[in-house]
A and B are shown apart, each in its own frame.
Chain A
Amino acid sequence: MTTTDDASRTGHDGHDDHVEERIPFGRNPRHFGIDPGDPWPDDVPMDQDDSRWRYQDNPRGAKWAERRVAACWTVTALASIAVCVVYQTGANNQLAGLCWGLAFGGLGVGMILWARDLLPGHDVIASRGNHAISHEGDRIAVAESFGRGTDAMARRPFLVTMLGGIGGILGLGALYGPISSLGPRPHTDLYHTKWGPGVRAVTEQGDPIKPTDIPVDGIMTVFPEGNIDDALSPTLLINVGTSDFDVQPQRVGWNLPTPGGNVVAFSKICTHAGCPASLYNVEKKQLICPCHQSTFDVLLDCKPVFGPAPRSLAQLALAVDQDGYIVSQSDYTREGGGPVGPGFWNRG
């Protein structure tokens, strides 16, 4: 839309054949961010004509520009129909992506070409306007208005202080209950797993295990019977064969001898960030946590030998029940390096 000065609009009813002489766009200060009546700023050129567009003086170019836009939008139209066909004929993901990509892309390219070639408004210089900093008078007025209120309040200093305190207490009263209800207190929950005296170790399928089920260099994830979903309980049974396994004095009798070698049990929960330390390097007898590459030497009681983990994986004391199945002697203990899993503030 081209525009004229406000003055020339007055009395113009628009129903006659009178064609007025439109005043060039660049003359109206408003269009350049200048308040009418203010002096024209030095840094806003007066001779701008921003009604011009790229192909204005090139009718042939303009015609081709129009065709280019129309071609782009034709792509959009065809792709939009095509995507409906794609839907009806099995909704192939790649074809859908192709059609939607072309549909949006055609529209977008067409719009940008239209703007570039056929629409005015390029490269205009205008004033940023003087509203950025208010007049000193206005600033004083604000300070005074604000002061009127604060002065009146400051006459009651006790109430001002109390309002601050009341805000805090109300916050406590309003939030304490709802937030507490979100979850239980941890108390000593993190110190315990579902292992305990005589709890059977079972596989993912719930089957109990005998020591001989784990071949030499074999590794098996086991759970306390009935608690496969507990996040702190998953434990690895490893048959270290006849390797020189370091048995600490306080952990004597925790391992299960088999004809092929010793079966030992360590927590699967990494002491760094709690991922399951799932990878076993048989040659080096090392457990590696896939999340952050903490590496534990099984023969050294799963001491961390590389990576960010600060502590050994906890060891579980094993025994065999009267049916020959593997059970735990107790929950993870301090002597075994517990509590299991990543550190926490009150772990100590």
Chain B
Amino acid sequence: MTTHKERQSQDKRYQITKGALDEVDERFSSSKWLVSALDKIFPDHWSFMVGEIAMDSLIILIVTGIYLALYYVPSSTEVVYAPTSGVVYHPLVGHSMSEAYQSVINLSFNVRFGLIMRQAHHWAALIFLAAVFFHMARIFFTGAFRKPREINWIIGLLLWQIVALEGFTGYSLPDDLLSGDGLRVIYSIIQTIPFIGTWLSYALWGGRFPGTDLVPRLFVVHEFLFPLVIVGLLTAHLMILWHQKHTDFPGPGKTETNIRGSRVWPQYAMKAGGLMMLVASVTFFMAGFIQINPVWLYGPFNTYNVSAGTQPDWYLGWQDGALRLWPHWEFRSFGHEIPNQFFPGLILPGILLTLMFAWPAIDRIIYKDHDRHNLLDRPRDKPFRTGVGAAAVVFFIDLTMACGTDLLANNLHIAFERLIEILQWGAFVGPIVAFFLAYRTCLALQRTGTHPIQRPIGGIIYRTAEGGYHTVGDVHAAHGDHAGDNGHAGVAHAGIDKASAAEHAPDPVAGD
């Protein structure tokens, strides 16, 4: 259907492109790599976009963060808020505060679009961490961390940790009352480390809390050190992903040695660019309409005030919740002490992180599986792993709820003491119940072959005019058919194949 004229312009464009790429190739001998890059296939499944959302948020964070850094003053020097021009925030006039806090107030009120950039930066950070958590859960439940991808699982966990710390340091930079109390808690946790605790806290803070050294140090860490590490680790994460190629769910026509999805050029590049724009869109809608971290309401930091409703950003809530739920134990002997906050503050996350870092090895032992995998497990295929994951999610939710006990107690009209006791029990009982529920659900799903949120199977049987019968499930048996599938149809689960074929068979599908 291509006309003669179109052909001519195609040819012309081809000559220009070819000429340019030749110039590149004569310098980098890049053609072999470029053809594999442009023709690379990325599988299509909605859950694979979440990692992209994390990366898109990072880009928004870098851009907005650079802008904020142009206005932020990393200084603890005490000043009295008494602006002589521009918008004045009257409740703070005459109050003494750090230059850092004042610069954030000025950025919020006196720099046009300063507030929306600040709020976009904060929302993007919260979205970033949400995407990281979801991405991590997806990798875990589908067994994507298995050989050969264990290293990327470990890099991913490191990224999560550094990103959370980056979030915390950013949250602390405004030097407001809320974040100052967060720093006080962290200081008290560092103090508890055996042998080096007090020394380390004095080294980091330049002396006794709060001191005047911390704000400029936090600035360097937040603006330079952690971003450098994050970008470095992310580069490694993506290069490994690129080299090893993406995992995919089992399905019609999919094997361990092939890959099915969209070409990078132009299909995937355009879609991924579109997704990045959508992430920016949501972030800026939120930045415009939903207030976040109104530091002018919290007031400048001092060492003697704190208000009720003191919560960290959501992704550190589980840590704060652990501090609230841990009983009042501490140990003293031989002139030394292992203080209370050492256990929930360092030991608990230490154990959990060790388990997570070691999980690929543990998983290998449990399932005696040393093979390389490109096709994912469906969560039901590995009931024990799915149960462990469900238990971890419930534990995480329980602790996160615990960090809001004061707010929850207020809104639910329960005494906070009772709520804490409930959540203390919940931290033990919840994961056990979740494990068995998930385990049994997996087994039941294995038996029925039904996807939990999709219609139950029932193959469609066609009667032909001649009186013969056939099922559409047969379509997939034919090699080379690649009608759209729902991504859940396992080769080993013929029932599903038929269901998905029944769903899609009537549509004319591109690529057929």
Task: Give me the interface of A with B, judged by CB distance under 8 Å.
Answer: 1-2, 14, 17, 19, 30-33, 41, 43-50, 52-54, 56, 87, 91, 93-98, 100-105, 107-112, 114-116, 119-129, 132-133, 179-180, 182-186, 189-190, 204, 221, 223, 229-232, 234, 268, 272-276, 278-279, 289-295, 304, 306-311, 341-348
Q: Is the CB of A93 within 8 A of B115?
A: yes
Q: Which residues of A contact B13 (CB under 8 A)?
A: 1
Can you list 15 A-B pairs with a CB-CB distance of less than 8 A?
A: A1-B17, A91-B112, A96-B284, A100-B285, A108-B273, A108-B276, A119-B266, A121-B263, A129-B36, A184-B206, A291-B310, A293-B416, A309-B328, A310-B340, A344-B192
Given A114-B270, A115-B266, A345-B41 contact (CB < 8 Å) = no
Closest chain A CB from B434 CB (angstroms) = 25
Q: Is the CB of A98 within 8 A of B288?
A: yes
| B207 partner, pick from A33, A122, A184, beta carbons under 8 A | A184
Q: Which residues of A contact B266 (CB under 8 A)?
A: 115, 119-121
Sorted nearest first, the 6 A-B pairs with minimum C-beta distance are: A97-B288, A343-B339, A108-B277, A111-B274, A121-B267, A105-B281
Q: Is the CB of A128 within 8 A of B327?
A: no
Asked whether B456 is an interface residue with its Cβ less than 8 Å from the other chain, the reply is no
| B304 partner, pick from A47, A268, A295, A306, beta carbons under 8 A | A268
Residue of A nearest to B481 (CB): A45
Closest chain A CB from B160 CB (angstroms) = 24
Q: Is the CB of A128 within 8 A of B185?
A: no
Stretch at the interface among B195-203, B228-236, B383-391: B195-203
Q: Is the CB of A189 within 8 A of B304?
A: no
Closest chain B CB from A87 CB (angstroms) = 6
Q: Which residues of B contact A290 (CB under 8 A)?
A: 306-310, 406
Closest chain B CB from A118 CB (angstroms) = 10
| A275 partner, pick from B181, B202, B271, B287, beta carbons under 8 A | B181
Q: Is the CB of B372 within 8 A of A125?
A: no
Closest chain A CB from B94 CB (angstroms) = 12
In the assembled complex, the Cα of A132 lies from the Cα of B149 at a distance in Å of 12
Task: Give me the interface of B with A, judged by CB distance under 8 Å.
Answer: 4, 7-8, 10-15, 17, 35-36, 39, 41, 44, 112-113, 115-116, 119, 148, 181, 184-185, 187-189, 191-199, 201-210, 213, 244-245, 253-263, 265-268, 270-271, 273-278, 280-282, 284-289, 302-310, 320, 323-330, 332, 334-341, 344, 372, 374, 405-406, 416-417, 420, 479-480, 482, 484, 509-511
Q: Which residues of A contact B288 (CB under 8 A)?
A: 93-98, 100-101
Q: Is the CB of B510 within 8 A of A52?
A: yes
In the assembled complex, the Cα of A116 lies from the Cα of B100 at a distance in Å of 48
Q: Is the CB of B11 within 8 A of A112?
A: no
| B253 partner, pick from A43, A93, A129, beta carbons under 8 A | A43
| A96 partner, pick from B14, B116, B193, B305, beta carbons under 8 A | B116
Q: Which residues of B contact A133 (CB under 8 A)?
A: 372
Q: Which residues of B contact A230 (CB under 8 A)?
A: 208, 303
Closest chain B CB from A180 CB (angstroms) = 8
Given A128-B257, A229-B303, A308-B327, A101-B148 contact (CB < 8 Å) = no
Q: Is the CB of A276 within 8 A of B203?
A: no
Q: Is the CB of B511 within 8 A of A122?
A: yes
Q: Is the CB of A115 within 8 A of B270?
A: yes
Q: Is the CB of A304 within 8 A of B511?
A: no
| A112 partner, pick from B39, B208, B258, B275, beta carbons under 8 A | B275
Residue of A nearest to B286 (CB): A97
Q: Is the CB of B193 within 8 A of A345?
A: yes
Q: Is the CB of B263 within 8 A of A128?
A: no
In the assembled complex, the Cα of A272 lies from the Cα of B181 at a distance in Å of 13
- Additional 5 contacts, C-beta under 8 A, given A17-B8, A126-B39, A342-B191: A112-B271, A119-B270, A183-B203, A229-B303, A348-B336
Q: Is the CB of B482 within 8 A of A45?
A: yes
| A111 partner, pick from B192, B273, B327, beta carbons under 8 A | B273
Q: Is the CB of B308 within 8 A of A279?
A: yes
Q: Is the CB of A182 within 8 A of B192?
A: no
In the assembled complex, the Cα of A17 lies from the Cα of B9 at a distance in Å of 11
In the assembled complex, the Cα of A275 lies from the Cα of B465 at a distance in Å of 81
Q: Which residues of A contact B39 (CB under 8 A)?
A: 30-33, 126
| B326 partner, pick from A17, A50, A308, beta carbons under 8 A | A308
Residue of B nearest to A278 (CB): B306
